[in-house]
Amino acid sequence: AQSVTQPDIHITVSEGASLELRCNYSYGATPYLFWYVQSPGQGLQLLLKYFSGDTLVQGIKGFEAEFKRSQSSFNLRKPSVHWSDAAEYFCAVGASRGGGADGLTFGKGTHLIIQP
Amino acid sequence: DTGVSQDPRHKITKRGQNVTFRCDPISEHNRLYWYRQTLGQGPEFLTYFQNEAQLEKSRLLSDRFSAERPKGSFSTLEIQRTEQGDSAMYLCACKTERLTDTQYFGPGTRLTVL
């Protein structure tokens, strides 16, 4: 069975500073990886996804993530955060593209706080 | 707005009552998923439909939980004899058959069991 670990429950970053959110996964085959963001009162919004190919993927809102098979990681990065980036971020792994029959397995999330 | 709607957005009920939630997916998205999200946790997969067929239901939390998608369009999730531990956000998601598509999530229904 797959699993996802997000080691940081909370992260505080100053506005304009760079950001890296960590995600480690466990899965016996090629993983399909996702980052979602959830703002208060909002649904989950997809930031980016990795299925295959280039291990550095670009997403919306200036986010990118790098798949590192050797480290079983899929860390999310942004060079300069904005106050509007404050939200909950979830890493997820799928057993097949788009989740398939098993749905997605999510990490517990990282709560991002932006300091002015 | 992802185009996935859920109703109601909030539900407060007393322990022991039955509740039903509805999800209206994006039209032509034939795959539909239900998740539960408790406070401080990520969403937890519950069940999955392809059109009207429920292809995965072993993850439903107990036999008090059931889901339907009778015509392959909207879906309902029912919880019978609610317990305080059922208090959570219930999320619906949908996707197409396309390989590169992803799951689009609704805003969720927040259930509070008193």
Query: Which residues in B lie closer than 8 A to residue A99 (C-beta atoms)?
Result: 31, 33, 45, 48, 93, 95, 102-103
A110-115 vs A87-94, strand pairing mode: antiparallel
DSSP A79: S
Compare all CA atoms of chain B with the CA of A38 and give the residue at the minimum distance: B107
Task: Over range A12-18, report the average pLDDT.
Answer: 97
User: Rg (Cα) of chain B, in Å, rounded?
Assistant: 13
User: What's residue A27's pLDDT?
Assistant: 83
B59 touches chain A (CB under 8 A): yes
> Any idea of the CA torsion for B26, B28, B34, B40, to the nearest 10 degrees?
-40
Q: Does residue A99 surpass a pLDDT of 70? A: no
Q: Which residues of B touch A104 (CB under 8 A)?
A: 33, 43, 45, 103
The rounded mean pLDDT for chain A is 91
How sure is the predictor about A94, in pLDDT bands with cuts at 50, 70 and 90? confident
Is 70 exceeded by the pLDDT of residue B100? no
A74 three-class SS: strand
- Across the range B98-111, mean pLDDT stands at 86
Q: Average the pLDDT over A83-96 and give the result.
A: 91
In tens, the pLDDT along B35-71 reads: 999 998 999 999 999 999 988 888 888 999 999 999 8
| A44 reaches B (C-beta below 8 A) | yes
pLDDT of A100 higher than 60: no
Residues forming beta bridges with residue B90, ordered by sequence position = B36, B109
- Share the mean pLDDT of chain B: 92
CB pairs under 8 A between A and B: 72
Q: What is the pLDDT of residue B18?
A: 98
- A69 in contact with B at a CB cutoff of 8 Å? no
DSSP state of B41: S
Contacts of B40 in chain A (CB under 8 A): 108-109
pLDDT digits (tens, 9 = 90+) for A21-74: 999 999 877 788 999 999 987 889 999 999 888 899 999 999 999 999 999 999
Q: What is the pLDDT of residue B106?
A: 95
Q: What average pLDDT score do residues B73-86 get? A: 96
pLDDT at B46: 94
pLDDT, average across residues B78-85: 96
Tell me the two tokens of residue A39: 């703002």
Partner B contacted by A109 (CB < 8 A): yes
CA distances, B88 to each of B17, B32, B40, B41, B101 (Å): 15, 19, 10, 10, 27
Taking CB atoms and an 8 Å limit, are B104 and A109 in contact across chains?
no
Evaluate if residue B1 carries a pLDDT over 90.
no
